[in-house]
Amino acid sequence: MTAEAATAETSEVFQECGCKGIRTCLICERQRQVDPPWQLSPQKTHRFLYCVDTGWAVGAEGSDFAGWAFPFPGVTLIADFVTREEEAEMVRLMDRDPWKLSQSGRRKQDYGPRVNFRKQKLKVAGFQGLPSFSREVVRRMGLYPSLEGFQPVEQCNLDYSPERGSAIDPHLDDAWLWGERLVSLNLLSPTVMSMSREAPGSLRLRLAPPTGPKDSVDSEVTPTRSVLCQDVEVAIPVPRCSLLVLTGAARHQWTHAIHRRHITARRVCATFRELSAEFQPGGRQQDLGRELLQISCSFQGRPV
Ligand SMILES: O=C(O)CCC(=O)C(=O)O
Ligand SMILES: [Fe+2]
C-alpha cells in the first residue's frame, strides 16, 4: 500500500463525518475530544418567537421582553404542504440514492449545477434536472400567491439526525446565483429556524400582540422599548410537512440557522432555489439561466 493510500484509508476510518475547519458534529467531537460549539459561542441573550398569524416576533414568555414585539417581514409558512403519505414516499425515494457526508453532522444530496460561489463560476455539465418526484411539489408551489412563477433550478436535500448532532450554523444563502425566494420543505420532524443579525443599532419594540400584520400602530401614543439587534434571536417554529419561504429581510439581512438542540428526531429538508435577476431574462447571464431552467424542469435528475 502506498503512503497516500494508507493516509486515505486512515482518514476514512477516522473521519466518519464531513466536518472541516471550525465545524463539528457529535461524531468528531467524541473522536477529537473537543468542546461542542455552543460552549465556545454563547447563545443570544434575547429570544423572540415568530408568530405566523401576525408576522411579528414576540418576546419569549418569562423573558425581559415578554409582551414586547417587532415586525418580522419576509416569512411565509405553509402548513401541511404535503401529506404524510407524500412525505413518506419522497423520503423513500431520496433514501434509494446515496447521501454524502456534509458539515456539522448533516448528510446531503444535491440536484443542481456545480457552483464555486467564491469565484462566481458554475458548471452545467452533470446536471440532469430536479428529481422526478419533485415535479408535483414544484407545480403545487406555483399555486400559492407568494410563490407565483417560482421555477427552481436547484434542490438540495439535507438529512439531520440527533445521533450525529446535526445542525447548520447561522448563514445567509448566496445572492449572486440564487434569487429572492428560498423555499424549504420540512419533512419527518418539526424543527426551529433561528434567525439572527449581527448589525449595529437597535430594534424598536412595541407592545404585543398587535392584532394583525397590517395594523398601523401609532408610535406617538404606544409605549416603545428598544433592544440591541445583535443580542436578538428569533425562533421560527417549522412544523413537519410544512413549507417555509424566506424573502426580503428574512432572506438577505437575517441569517438563518438550525441549532443542534432543535433536531430531536431524523429530519429531512428539501431546499429549492430559483435564479437571481442576473440569470433571468434581461440579465447579463440570461442564456446560462435559460439553459439551467430547461434542464431543471425536465425532472430527470440524479444527485450530482
Ligand atoms: O435545514 C434547513 O432548513 C436550512 C438549510 C439551509 O439553510 C441551507 O441549506 O442553506
Ligand atoms: Fe441556508
What residues have a C-beta under 5 A from ligand 2, the ion?
173
With a 6 Å cutoff on the Cβ, whether 271 touches ligand 1 is yes
Residue 281: all three cell numbers together: 431574462
With a 6 Å cutoff on the Cβ, whether 158 touches ligand 1 is yes
Look at strands 168-171 and 178-187 and give their pairing: unpaired
Q: What's the rounded mean pLDDT across residues 169-180? A: 97
Does the interface predicted TM-score (ipTM) exceed 0.95?
Answer: yes
- Confidence check: pLDDT of 4 > 70: no
Q: Which domains does the chain have, with CATH numbers?
A: 74-198+238-296 (2.60.120.590)
pLDDT confidence tier of residue 40, bands split at 50, 70 and 90: low
d(CA 194, CA 192): 6
Task: Give the amino acid at 31.
Answer: Q
Distances 205 to 62, 69, 81, 208 between C-alpha atoms, Å: 17, 5, 32, 9
pLDDT confidence tier of residue 38, bands split at 50, 70 and 90: low
Q: What's the rounded mean pLDDT across residues 174-188? A: 98
Distances 146 to 230, 246, 247, 252 between C-alpha atoms, Å: 29, 10, 10, 17
pLDDT confidence tier of residue 13, bands split at 50, 70 and 90: very low
- Confidence check: pLDDT of 230 > 80: yes
Q: What's the rounded mean pLDDT across residues 109-114? A: 96
Residue 260 C-alpha to ligand 2 middle, in angstroms? 15
Categorise residue 248: left if φ over 0, alpha if ψ from -120 to 50, beta otherwise.
left
Residue 168 C-alpha to ligand 1 middle, in angstroms? 7
- Confidence check: pLDDT of 68 > 70: yes
Under 8 Å between Cβ of 165 and 28: no
- Least confident interval from 8-22, 38-52, 65-79, 117-131: 8-22
